[in-house]
Structure 1
Amino acid sequence: MLPLTLFSVIYLFAPSALAGSVQINGSCSQSNNRLTVGTYEFDGDCDSVSFCNSGGVCQAKGCRRDIFPFGYAQDDPNLPKLCPSGQFCPDEEDACQSLIAVGGTCQLNRDDECQPPPNAGDLADNRFGTNVDGAVCLNAQCYWANVTLGQTCVVENTPYIVYFSGGEAIDIVSRGNCQVGLYCDSQSLQCTQQLALGATCVADKECSSMNCLASGVCGEAFDVPRHFGTWVYVVVGIGIFGGMIGTLVGLFFLHARQRDQEREKRIQYWREQNAFRQNIMQMRDTARASLLSLPLGGGTNSARSTLYDEQSPITQHQQQQPKGSGLRKMSVDDVGSDGEMDLANVVREREDDAPRFRSARAF
């Protein structure tokens, strides 16, 4: 493992052309190991599943820091192991190593690499994570976060690049080795009591909530649950039920309009069918009146006169099975029940008169 400090980061700012692209068994150089500008994430020549060993060759990683590390499938058989208690996996992830004693060299923000104090339960910061089990890595050296109020402390200021809609800016994170509830003042280098809500501040570490607002006062911590007044729940409840009722009422009127449209279509269809029926009945009455108005006697313009004048004498077979004209049959069929008997009687009378007309012509 090659220790990395803030002082060596300045030299390693320029990234290599082949950074992070060399695969296992490829050539590499440990001198290219560095922390990424702005984020201080470890990077090197080898890809995400290998590290650069002392021989200058990319080798498969021997341990991992995360449960689900980048570059591996969830069921990858080559997934490196997690280090057991009392050991840590360095940034290079080459192999698990023993925890570092106080005063030893550690990597940036790797408080977990340092040995915890005997009273780790009393010194550990489990809320904001300012230390790990009471141990803290400051300026590449392990300390215990046990310095009391007014005592000399060690401070570490790390600038990070933050991005926002207006561009980018520098966010300085300041850490120290004071006990929980205290902070290391960068000017006096003494542990000072953290400030309460609403107090004037210039950095997050000065507030007990670790949240110094842009207005320069200590605000609530980010993990504090928000509580709302009863009126908020009342308004929300009214809004929910009002929305439900409004939806139902809107659907009722929408469906009512659709029903009215369908009803109008049916009425229009009925009107059209009724008008069509009236037209048919009018045509029937007109046809019946036209047939009944035909003359009974012969004449030069009579259809019956022409028929009997031009035809030969009726045979016996024709007398037994008289045939009416197609026009008469169609007319009888078309006549409704109210005029069917009258029209049939007229046709029967005219057929009975046919022999008398022929006898008169024979003389």
Structure 2
Amino acid sequence: MRTIGALPARVQRALGGRAVRIDGQELHPEIQLALKLLRLTAGRTFEQLPLSQGRAQISREAWVFGDSLPVGTVRDLTVPGPAGPLAARLYRPSGLGGSSALLVYFHGGGWVLGDLESADSACRFLAVHAGLSVLSIDYRLAPEHPFPAGVEDAVAAYRHAVDNAESLGVDPAAIGVGGESAGGNLAAVVSQITHAEPGPAPAFQLMFFPVTDLSTKHASYLLFSDGFFLTEAQMDWYRDHYLTHPGEALDPRVSPLLADSLSGLPPAYVAVAGFDPLRDEGEAYARRLGEAGVPVTLRRHEGLVHGIVNATGVGRSGRDALLEAAGALRGGLTALAGRR
């Protein structure tokens, strides 16, 4: 994987075959070749395995695709959750000085898979390139802990970060939330809940390929149901594990796109992948934010697939997408630190 990611684009195209074009977009040659290789070498995917094996598979993929970028300090700790301590990991790059900005980060994995290790590569990258601290949260997973356990943990972790900003070495007025896929969903939901309730809300929200609507399947589900890393069948598997009954999909804490109002929420950066079943609901959420007067940047990475931000160690696409997001964090969150 690392070798093919380093090849020139013309060589990747020659090896990957005829360009795949859907909905006016062309699949990036690097991604097309990687998907071809995965199809040739992969066995059963996680939703076809026992849960423990599926989780182990995600951990292996994180090791294959990620990159352990050096960070000044990386410290494992715990934060209090509503049902007990939650494992967390604090990344703090060298040279910050004083109180930095902080991004509270929630990993992806459909609320069922993933952990601190699966998010490690992206957290390291954002900490270094955005020049801020990152607190990664190992929230409870379904089906052992279905909705709303993950939401409750995410809200508690954010509030803990605000209340303990001094001991974390961060500015309480420059704390944002972010995440990828299900983690992007949690970032959106945390922003909505904390805005509606007493106490501070995040200063910024960063969402990669967020799940924003489990109540229906948007058009991108039909376009990219299979063959582009994340599949419709896998999203169905995630939903069935996360929810205890279908009606919960109408709850804005599950489907933040369904909230009555998005006005007053923090500024947002929303990144979606062109070849992703979740593309359209992510874009719909960004549009609703903008219509509500929330400063929002929507970035569609047209040739890419779901989860690419975790592939910082393979090829260039994931790194490039994260670099853009890091730039947005610098302007929208890092710059807020120390302004009081």
Q: TM-score, normalised by structure 2?
A: 0.24
Structure (1/2) with the larger helix percentage: 2
Q: TM-score, normalised by structure 1?
A: 0.23
Structure (1/2) with the larger strand percentage: 2
Of the two structures, which has the highest relative contact order with CA contacts closer than 8 Å and spacing of 6 or more?
2
